Structure 1
């Protein structure tokens, strides 16, 4: 019997790899089987770790500009001519102290510097995970890392941060690094939000990054104004609002291609071949809700599982309005919390709760096979 275990991370508690191990531990106490652990990510925080684990990638790091202009080490992973890194390692919310969480002041310049470095090293496909950011800068910092410079109407050079977007009157491309024509840059993305408007970077994601309510509309307008100058086509690009607009910056300044995060990861893992003879596929994430059904990791996996192979989701919690997941390919979804508890308690006990729930599901599955 072949069982594939493919969780995303349980944010705040378990990495995708740790979650996979916990599910396996619970299942194998009840059900002997050939377990295949394939932790996943869809572009958000933890995607790089999942790729490292499932693809056995090499790990290295490079010194780049940090979120506040300091020097910082940013890791990347690679194999042959492919390399990967993620935004959250440099400017993810957990990386920024709460008192310094200002999405308009944090720099993403180091991400552009990393792309230049990897291109110079000869990598020809570079995947960038852009979820979990603490910034809303529209990718201006990333562009500065490539060598672009920005000036106001008086010719004064601007700092490449979100607060400068509204003042940009001219863009100097003269010193920009010329990326190799054969280089492909993949923007590993898990949302389809545009850059601007009611579903855009500022209005949807800004508040969770620390954007004040009084700033939202002005930042939305600043993003629009900036890309009317830089590249108007970006304003209609699906997914450009991801990563505080970093997706827009990578697409505009390095010809990056926005890809479905989970599909990109599954293709790298050769999932379609691996799943062919599976008897059961187990997916999971920290919380399954209506947003999950729009294409987050568990649903993205389920949609590619061949008909006839059951898919079970094991999650930290399942939203009460989520009553039927079968239309998304998930046969059943189980929360791991079995009694009232605080969020901190749920996070602290995530591993033991995941093991216990997995063992219970394994027992049920074994009985159904008898």
Structure 2
């Protein structure tokens, strides 16, 4: 029996590689002879560097950068010397997981640290940058990212503005004379499954602002600041990317990338699936096991389990999904090739307890699934 194990990371608990190893241990508890193929996955958010380095034989580097609130933090990025390719996660320097819930501060939070990671990649001689946009704690339109790379924003008094979401509405002029010239030689690939525009009721502030700490009463102010920032960027670059798909990703960082670098946007899952040869691995297996921290209605939009389910369905291969949390109306997931959803929590516990013990819980859940699979196998009727 051959099983492909291809989970996403369980954010804040396990990398995709660690999750895959836990699932493998659970399988081999029950069936030591089972052949397993591990393919760590990601969608452009947290865990992308770890997953891509494992399948592309790259190196993990680190740099001292600013976190969303300007504090020094060590952040990792991937480096593939042969192709001079850097793989960077916005989440590594500017992510939600770097902040406690009480620290969410969209007025002050910025993407400056992500720009610093890009500078570290340029120092290595990067010619191709793959930038994942998932999991940011910011709604600064990517202004902080640009500031780290040499762009300066001035207010009406001619003063240089500091990074943060609250500075967008104060911008009077933009100066790019100190822009890092090495960027002109870089090919950009943006790994993101977000198609939202920058502004409006489907834009960065309205859709993603609440998870980053934007209160309902401040929506209008943030939307107004973002609109003003966009107008100034359009005026400066001569490009209007406000309505482009993906411009609202990562609190508007997608807009700045489109405006200044003209990158290629690709599905984070599709990049991983292509690089890993996922589809080829799925052609001769009995079962595919995947998972992520939370499965909900948003999982239909570019998440790893659904992407795997769609590919596996072409070959009639059942997919089972492990999740730390399952919520919402999930009927549509079954139409996407997912046959079984399995929570890994086995008793009442706090979120902190579940995340701390994620690896053990996932291993136990995988063992339970295999016991069930073998039980039904004895009766000639597989459960999936």
Matches within 5 A, 1:57-96: 57-69=58-70, 71-79=72-80, 80=82, 81-96=84-99
Deviations 1:5-26 (A, max 9, x none): 1111222332222221111111
RMSD: 2.3
How far is the alpha carbon of 1:100 from its aligned partner?
A: 4.2
Q: Which residue of 2 aligns with 1:204?
A: 207
Native 8 Å contact 1:22 1:354 kept in 2 = yes
Residue 287 in structure 1 maps to residue 294 in structure 2: yes
How far is the alpha carbon of 1:260 from its aligned partner?
A: 1.0
Deviations 1:230-275 (A, max 9, x none): 1363211112222111222222222223221111122222223333
Decide which of 362, 367, 370 is 1:354's aligned counterpart: 362
How far is the alpha carbon of 1:180 from its aligned partner?
A: 5.2
Q: Sort the Cα spacing of 1:77 and 1:92 in 2 relative to 1 into closer, same or farther, 3 A.
A: same
How far is the alpha carbon of 1:320 from its aligned partner?
A: 5.2
The separation in 1 between residues aligned to 2:302 and 2:356, in whole angstroms, is: 28
The separation in 1 between residues aligned to 2:358 and 2:364, in whole angstroms, is: 10
Native 8 Å contact 1:44 1:190 kept in 2 = no
Native 8 Å contact 2:110 2:142 kept in 1 = no
Residue 299 in structure 1 maps to residue 306 in structure 2: yes
Q: Which residue of 1 aligns with 2:253?
A: 246
Native 8 Å contact 1:281 1:310 kept in 2 = yes
The separation in 2 between residues aligned to 1:342 and 1:355, in whole angstroms, is: 19
| 3-state SS, counterpart of residue 234 of structure 1 | coil
Matches within 5 A, 1:115-134: 115-134=118-137
Deviations 1:169-193 (A, max 9, x none): 2111222123455522122213222
Residue 327 in structure 1 maps to residue 330 in structure 2: no
Runs of at least 4 residues of structure 1 off by over 6 A?
none
The separation in 1 between residues aligned to 2:347 and 2:111, in whole angstroms, is: 42
Q: Sort the Cα spacing of 1:160 and 1:322 in 2 relative to 1 into closer, same or farther, 3 A.
A: same
The separation in 2 between residues aligned to 1:244 and 1:309, in whole angstroms, is: 37
Q: Sort the Cα spacing of 1:159 and 1:181 in 2 relative to 1 into closer, same or farther, 3 A.
A: closer
Deviates more, 1:27-36 or 1:133-142: 27-36
The aligned length equals 370
TM (norm. structure 2) is 0.88
Native 8 Å contact 2:68 2:95 kept in 1 = no
Deviations 1:327-351 (A, max 9, x none): 1121222222344444344334433
TM (norm. structure 1) is 0.91
How far is the alpha carbon of 1:284 from its aligned partner?
A: 0.6
Deviations 1:131-185 (A, max 9, x none): 2222110000111122111112333222232211101121112221234555221
Residue 217 in structure 1 maps to residue 217 in structure 2: no
Deviations 1:66-116 (A, max 9, x none): 544455443221112221121222122232355543122123223223323
Q: Which residue of 2 aligns with 1:17?
A: 17
| 3-state SS, counterpart of residue 285 of structure 1 | strand
Task: Name structure 1 gaps, 5 residues minimum.
Answer: none
